[in-house]
Amino acid sequence: MPVLIVKFEGSVLQKVSINGGSITIGRGPDNSIPIDNLAVSNHHAEIRSEEGHLVIQDLDSLNGTFVNNQRVKRSALKHGDVVLIGKHSIQVDEKSQGESPAAVNRPSGSVSSGGVKVAPKVDETFILDTEKRRTMMREIAAAGERSQITSRVRVATLVRVKGPIEKAEYQLTGKLTVIGESEMATVRLRGWFKPKMAAQINRRDDGYYLGRGDRVPKVNGKPISSPTLLSDGDLIDVCGVRLRFTIPE
């Protein structure tokens, strides 16, 4: 069943299936594809299926109907053709399957998520300008303060409970904290036959995850089987060192 894909400035507005009948396009609300734009006539064009072929007929519109950038009065349409009416384009897709006959309307207006209002969703990536971004960041930060959930943006600390390590406390500011004998390790293990990289902690958006290295660390006495999200007060055991994970509330 052929489908007409109506687009405006790159985003899909509507998909319309042609089911034998005819489809009218125009500014008037009685059209099957209404386009609210002054460049479009009230009854601008009509697309019909004639003996299995799609045909477009311009209904004496003021600004014309274009197929692949050629102005047409009447023209057959094939797969891939692009019809231009005003600033809207209609792409012919004859290979589409399983599309429901009902028109699929994209949401319009603004959607709200987490208290943040943004423009309607589009498939394309877009960037917020400075002003919009500042406003949004403020809103997110404010929402974070209000919510009961602990804000994860805070920096965690490892506190030594026992074992041969240099410092009493380690701030986990980096994306990756290595516990091991390596001279570049954040938490540097001392002594003979310690692994270069015994365990590692990955700081992610939603918190700190402990993962294995050359050893399998324990969290609260249990060996981990996969990266484990740490919570405040957790005890980590690795290579004879015990550390307490603390994150400010």
Partner 1 sequence: MELSVASVVRELFNLNAKQMQWDVAACTDTGRLRPMNEDSYRISAEQNLFVLSDGLGGAAKGEVASAMAVEVVVASMREDASAAMPGEFVSRPELTKETNLLVRAVELANREIHEQGMREPACRGMGATIVAARICGRRLSLVHVGDSRAYLFRAGTLQQLTSDHSLVAEQVRHGLISHQQAAVSELQSVLTRALGTEQSVEVDAAEIELFPRDSLLLSSDGLTRMVPEDEIAEILTQAPGVGIAAERLVNRANECGGHDNITVVVIRIKKSFQEWFATFFPWCGANLV
Q: How many residues bind partner 1 (CB under 8 A)?
A: 51
User: Token match 């290295």: residue?
Assistant: 213
Residue 105 lies near partner 1 (rule: CB under 8 A): no
Q: Greatest CA span in the chain, whole angstroms?
A: 90
* Contact characters 136-175, partner 1, x per CB under 8 A: xx--xx-xx--x-xxxxx--------------------xx
* 191 lines the binding site for partner 1 (CB under 8 A): no
Q: Which long-range contacts (CB under 8 A, 24 or more apart) does 50-56 make?
A: 53/77, 54/2, 54/18, 54/78, 54/92, 54/94, 56/83
In angstroms, give the least distance from the CB of 227 to partner 1.
Answer: 5
How many beta carbons lie within 10 A of that of residue 118, not counting itself? 13
Q: Determine which residue in the list 113, 168, 221, 249 makes contact with partner 1, applying CB under 8 A.
A: 113
- Residue bearing tokens 């207006």: 109
Distance CA 162, CA 242 (A): 5
For partner 1, the binding residues (CB under 8 A) are 10, 111, 113-114, 116, 118, 121-130, 133, 136-137, 140-141, 143-144, 147, 149-153, 174-176, 178, 182, 184-185, 193, 196-197, 200, 202, 204-206, 209, 211-214, 226-227
